[in-house]
Amino acid sequence: MSERTEPISAEAIGLHSLKPAPGSRRPRKRIGRGEGSGTGKTSGRGQKGAGARSGSSSRPNFEGGQMPIHMRMRKLRGPHMKKSMPFEPFRTHTQAVNLKDIEARFEAGAVVDPGSLRAKGLATRKGIAIKVLAEGELSKPLTVSVHAVSASAREAIERSGGTVQLIGTAAPAS
């Protein structure tokens, strides 16, 4: 970058004195104004053909008659494929809560349910099943009442003296 050699005066800056950088704006091309202009005769439209006629404008995505890309690409239909168009309407979603987070936020003997998890800042997405996962250790007895629990998390909760209760129709382990 080149440094500016002339100092900027305080009166030169302002909304009243804004102008484009030198050389950034060019005058518009005047077409059809004689051969000497470089855009005379056919006015930049070339010789004959649809593009030379008045009223001609190509459609968006028109590829000159070749098979358009939206027709060349495969169509993914039906719920049986992972990348299909309905975008997995049958997939069950759960929000994960780890044992280390429960350990840090709950006291011994507390009841861990969706309401208390939401109050402590965990599992804040409404209407989505909660699944407890076994990342971290649990050292206190807790009553865990959620939609789903992984096998190793259930083992860790029961090992620390707590109990696990599944609520509602739990989403299949995913």
Task: Establish how many alpha carbons lie within 13 A of residue 145's alpha carbon, considering only the half-sphere containing its beta carbon.
Answer: 11
Mean pLDDT of 73-100: 71
Tell whether the model's pLDDT for residue 72 goes beyond 90: no
Length of the chain: 174
Helix (H), strand (E) counts: the chain: 4, 6
Q: Tell me, what CATH number does 148's domain have? A: 3.100.10.10
Q: Coil, strand, or helix at residue 103?
A: helix
> Is 159 within a domain?
yes
| Domain that residue 103 falls in | 94-166
Tell me the pLDDT band of 51, cut-offs 50, 70 and 90. confident
pLDDT digits (tens, 9 = 90+) for 101-144: 999 999 999 999 999 999 999 988 888 999 999 999 999 999 99
> Is 142 within a domain?
yes
% of residues, the chain, pLDDT over 70: 80
Tell whether the model's pLDDT for residue 171 goes beyond 50: no
> Is 124 within a domain?
yes
Q: Looking at residue 85, what is its pLDDT?
A: 53
> Is 137 within a domain?
yes
> Per the structure, how many domains does the chain have?
1
Residue 56 one-letter amino acid: S
Q: Looking at residue 9, what is its pLDDT?
A: 58
> Is 145 within a domain?
yes
Mean pLDDT of 65-93: 70
Tell whether the model's pLDDT for residue 170 goes beyond 50: no
Mean confidence (pLDDT) of the chain:
84
> Is 157 within a domain?
yes
